[in-house]
Homo-oligomer: A and B are copies of this chain.
Amino acid sequence: MPTPTIKVDAISKSFGAFKVLDGLSMQVMPGEKLALIGPSGSGKTTILRILMTLEKIDGGHIEVDGEQLYHMERNGQLLPANERHLAKMRQKIGMVFQLFNLFPHKCVMDNVTLAPMLTKGVARAAAEKRAMELLDMVGLADKAKAMPAQLSGGQKQRVAIARALALSPKIMLFDEVTSALDPELVEEVLNVMRKLAAETDMTMLLVTHEMGFAHDFADRVLFFDRGRIVEEGKPDEIFRHPKQERTQSFLKKIIAAGHRI
């Protein structure tokens, strides 16, 4: 069995007195596409943010690609990671946010080339060549010179995906990337993600309320509730034959609200 790309081991995380993650463990294998579903507030976003090092953990361990994420080994001892170690580990991980978080003062091209040029010292010409390939892939080659404010939500999100890909991460994290979009614009983003899933062997973690897409896209689905994984399995198992009562009632409500699975 190959090393898991991500190995989360009994991590916990609280905000003040509120325990968001409670001894959570999970593993993600190389190239796996994972969907994280569950009710609001169950900790789905939090685990992605922890993997992206946007939040600290209170306890437990995380390995990415066989290396400790929040700890460094020095002379056989595990020390808390310093900023240099974190920066090194972050190279393996990219993230796309619900609200895109494009840099509003930079054009599309600069949004995509900024990080490779600054963090990897890629020359401008090379960075722009790669950026054009990526923009082409997300169908926005003609918007390279546009400012983010001139784009629709769906276009912004596709730029955000290109920007994350520009650093060639091994792992991509997607947090409800379509939930801020008009329904008509959702499809164009999902199409890009389908293409990505089909064409690359990146490991992908996806938080979503689009059960239909989660079903088609994921190799495995994790159902979260109150900071724990209540149930996991193949999409068909989870969506058609959920075992846990909590999962059943959640899916029932979602269906009643008019969503297709």
Chain A residues engaging chain B, CB cutoff 8 angstroms? 39-40, 178, 182-184, 186-187, 190, 209-213, 250, 253-260
Contacts and interface: CB of A to CB of B under 8 A. Distances in A.
Contact of A183 (B183, B190, B259, B260): B259
A254 B184 CA distance: 6
A210 B213 CA distance: 17
Contacts of A257: 178, 183-184, 186-187, 190, 210
What DSSP secondary structure best describes chain A's contact surface?
helix
A164 to B, nearest CB: 22
Nearest to A210: B258
Contact of A253 (B183, B212, B256): B183
Contacts of A255: 260
Contact of A259 (B39, B40, B250, B258): B258
Contacts of A178: 257
B213 A183 contact: no
> How many copies of the shown chain assemble into the complex?
2
Contacts of A256: 187
Most chain B CB within a 10 A radius of its CB, from A255, A257, A260: A257
B260 A184 contact: no
Given A260-B259, A260-B260, A254 B40 contact: no
A254 B190 CA distance: 13
A156 to B, nearest CB: 15
26 contacts: A39-B182, A39-B184, A40-B182, A40-B183, A178-B257, A183-B253, A183-B257, A183-B259, A184-B250, A184-B253, A184-B254, A186-B257, A186-B258, A187-B256, A187-B257, A190-B257, A210-B257, A211-B258, A212-B258, A213-B258, A255-B260, A258-B259, A258-B260, A259-B259, A259-B260, A260-B260
